[in-house]
Amino acid sequence: MQPVLLVDRNGAVATVTLNRPESKNALTRQLIQALGNALDELDRDEAVRAVVLTGAGGSFCSGADLKAGMADFGEVSVETRIDEFHAAIRAIAHSKKPFVAQVDGPAVGFGADLALACDLRVMSSRAYLQEKFVKIGLMPDGGGTFWLPRLIGMGRAMEYLLLGDRIDASLALDLGLTNRVVPPEDLSATALGLADALAKGPPLALAQIRAAVRESFGGTIDDALAREKSGQTGLLASSDLVEGVLAWAQRRTPEFHGR
């Protein structure tokens, strides 16, 4: 029986692949638990500097597996089931590592939320995002009501959340929901290229930047300045800063080590 989740490491980049292509990588309890555990492990692995999240077989993720339904979760309560799904979102949002979503085909429902939780998104020309929950009488439960208004504004977010319409790759690019749109055959190389560039960056600075940006939507400008002051004070005492300045002076590429 094939594993439902694949984790491959290529240097400092880890690629996490949802591997249920026969169901367009629909999320069962086994898969969502494996994903949460893998993401926690990668966050603790100092050798990993960036993560690519993707799906197998020309699809990113079609959301929760409705065919398996509650039977897949046995006697587990609805609250516990949602908590297990939320663990994967929290693992991405609170990680110290940058995440790149490599989206091919559908990213629907919770699959859309997984892609939106990442820092950068690369979509193939045949990919699409869709917060489809409302089509079956539900609401987003993976952070969609948080991510979309922040990424595209309340008015457009309301449209796609209330109507549940799909957002094709070209529209996603226009809206600012994706950083790149490329032909399917170029998708993996493009996502890995971005992840590799991130992996070569200063990990301490990247962690502080992504944390500050993610927290910036709450509070005031004074709160933001306080976060930046705290983060910058630590970075000014780091070995990475010394390496960055030396590399600049010596006109070479810096080698950051996260110290």
Pick 98 or 248 by higher pLDDT.
98
Same-domain check for residues 223 and 172: no
In a domain, 192, yes or no: yes
pLDDT, tens digit, for every residue of 188-243?
A: 999 999 999 999 999 999 999 999 998 888 877 677 778 778 888 888 888 888 88
Work out the percent of the chain whose per-residue pLDDT is above 90: 73
Same-domain check for residues 119 and 141: yes
In a domain, 254, yes or no: no
pLDDT for res 108: 97
Same-domain check for residues 225 and 132: no
Pairing of strands 13-18, 50-55: parallel
Let me know: does 25 contact 40? Beta carbons within 8 Å.
no
Same-domain check for residues 18 and 86: yes
Nearest to 231 by CA among 257, 259, 203, 212: 212
In a domain, 245, yes or no: yes
In a domain, 256, yes or no: no
In a domain, 16, yes or no: yes
pLDDT for res 72: 63
Average pLDDT of every residue of the chain: 92
Same-domain check for residues 78 and 99: yes
Pick 249 or 58 by higher pLDDT.
58
Same-domain check for residues 60 and 158: yes
pLDDT, tens digit, for every residue of 124-154?
A: 999 999 999 999 888 999 999 999 999 999 9
Same-domain check for residues 108 and 220: no
Residue 46 pLDDT exceeds 90:
yes
Let me know: does 146 contact 87? Beta carbons within 8 Å.
no
Tell me, letter by letter, the H, E, C secondary structure of the chain: CCCCEEEEEECCEEEEEECCHHHCCCECHHHHHHHHHHHHHHHHCCCCCEEEEEECCCCCECCECCCCHHHHHCCCCHHHHHHHHHHHHHHHHCCCCCEEEEECCEEECHHHHHHHHCCEEEEECCCEEECHHHHHCCCCCCCHHHHHHHHHCHHHHHHHHHHCCEEEHHHHHHHCCCCEEECHHHHHHHHHHHHHHHHCCCHHHHHHHHHHHHHCCCCCHHHHHHHHHHHHHHHHCCHHHHHHHHHHHCCCCCCCCCC
Residue 31 pLDDT exceeds 60:
yes
The structural domain count of the chain equals 2
Residue 73 pLDDT exceeds 70:
no
Let me know: does 101 contact 53? Beta carbons within 8 Å.
yes
CATH code, domain carrying 188: 3.90.226.10
Nearest to 129 by CA among 154, 160, 155: 160
**Separation CA 11–CA 45 (nearest Å):** 12
Same-domain check for residues 122 and 241: no
Domain containing 55: what range? 5-199
**Separation CA 123–CA 131 (nearest Å):** 16
In a domain, 255, yes or no: no
164, 184, 199: which is the final residue of a domain?
A: 199
CATH code, domain carrying 219: 1.10.12
Residue at token pair 């994903």 = 35
pLDDT, tens digit, for every residue of 148-187?
A: 999 999 999 999 999 999 999 999 999 999 999 999 999 9
* Dihedral angle sign, alpha carbons of residues 61, 133, 89, 223: positive
Same-domain check for residues 151 and 37: yes
CA atoms within 13 A on the CB side of 196: 8
In a domain, 79, yes or no: yes
**Separation CA 61–CA 114 (nearest Å):** 9
In a domain, 123, yes or no: yes
Same-domain check for residues 219 and 190: no
pLDDT for res 70: 52
Let me know: does 62 contact 106? Beta carbons within 8 Å.
yes
Same-domain check for residues 186 and 207: no
Same-domain check for residues 147 and 241: no
